[in-house]
A and B are shown apart, each in its own frame.
Chain A
């Protein structure tokens, strides 16, 4: 019965809360060969837990490559590149550079995190392929 309630949600009745707290650490996930999964896909950039920017990925054709510089205060920055190869942090001035070394991300649910700058870039969307997952145990 509960499931029924959620399968036909009344708008305004159903709240989905997504809460991200960055403490310390990293999440590394990546794909090299698969092309980017683009079903209703949005690339979201967060600083200190707040969404500061998001980009819709077009459903058709080549993804127009772009680079976004994100300044995190006190001189800190990360440069994100969005392209058909996926999403990558191509430069940053954080001490560990783990974000720059992270593999490109390509499917919804994946993220690149820069702990020193409290910076997260993630792919959000409904993935419809056989390989779609809700989350990954790592």
Chain B
């Protein structure tokens, strides 16, 4: 999951126990769904691509199924079979490169979430073609967060603040009686010197941001100003380029927030908002390349602007 976690849990001794249990559960999910752990379900599925179905843990099966549903909902904007393209670029590796169009087209032929075959009864997953590969990076953290929240709530925890690799998850509000104040990272903080684009007060919600600022090829950016980042458009095989620098989702469900922040980023403001406005319990923020900030109806009036470099389009 390439991730740093921090758990702040308020409560008595049973809260501490629950917190340890939640951390263990998150680690277990990582073991099942990591693309790098040797014996993870995902590594096994990818190895058996084009060969045979692989039996997986129930949680892995559930997350893949959810991911495919998001694939359908977003018409492929979220596609867990993006792995061959991600590997080709290697943005998160030590040796990223800009591939040729031919290389991209060759790998793009292997990207299609509809070629992931699920067998509900036997809990198996099969990738139809050799060379295909899946990566749950856009959604597994969200599932892990939902599980952590479930465990903490079951133990009676009423106030907590979790951070899973940049995804902020809240239970209740701050114990001093106010909502949690969550900063939305300024996607150009290196240039503006500001940490936050805006601040939002939340309780019982998850805040997830995606953007072109997390990982990109620095050498190319410094030379040409072109930002080749790590969120790919499954339709083109290039880093998503629908006019956004960053997207944020606020939702009661972490798995939804995780998947939808990527979907919004890949689809862009107009199409992305059309999709999100149809969903219940989901709010969004889209930051365009010309530093305009668009927000969904439910957020109007509740965003605190902390940064003059951006214009909130109310």
Taking Cβ atoms with an 8 Å cutoff, the residues of A that contact B are 2-3, 6-7, 13-27, 29-34, 96, 103, 107, 110, 113, 130-138
Contacts and interface: CB of A to CB of B under 8 A. Distances in A.
A29 B195 contact: yes
B16 A15 contact: yes
B181 interface: yes
Contact of A17 (B15, B158, B168, B306): B15
A133 B195 CA distance: 10
A137 B161 contact: no
A107 B195 contact: yes
B175 interface: yes
B15 A27 contact: no
Contact of A21 (B23, B166, B306): B23
B255 to A, nearest CB: 16
Contact of A23 (B5, B19, B159): B5
Contact of B176 (A7, A17, A24, A26): A7
B4 A136 contact: no
**What are the 10 tightest A-B residue pairs by CB atom distance, in nearest-first order?**
A32-B193, A6-B175, A133-B183, A138-B166, A136-B183, A138-B185, A137-B207, A25-B2, A33-B193, A137-B209
B174 A134 contact: yes
B199 to A, nearest CB: 6
B4 A26 contact: yes
Interface stretch (B6-14, B233-241, B267-275): B6-14
Majority-rule SS of A interface residues: loop
B181 A17 contact: no
Nearest to A132: B181
15 contacts: A2-B159, A7-B177, A17-B7, A19-B6, A21-B4, A23-B3, A24-B3, A25-B3, A27-B4, A31-B194, A134-B181, A135-B182, A137-B184, A137-B185, A138-B209
B189 interface: yes
A15 B196 contact: no
A6 B189 CA distance: 35
Contacts of B11: 15
Interface in B154-213: 158-159, 161, 163, 165-168, 172-177, 180-185, 189-190, 193-196, 199, 207-209
Nearest to B22: A19
A51 B306 CA distance: 32
A34 to B, nearest CB: 8
Contacts of A132: 181
B189 to A, nearest CB: 6
Given A29-B189, A113-B4, 9 more contacts: A6-B177, A14-B10, A14-B12, A15-B11, A19-B9, A21-B5, A30-B195, A136-B183, A137-B184
A30 B190 contact: yes
Contacts of A130: 304, 306
Interface string B90-125: 000010000000000000000000000000000000
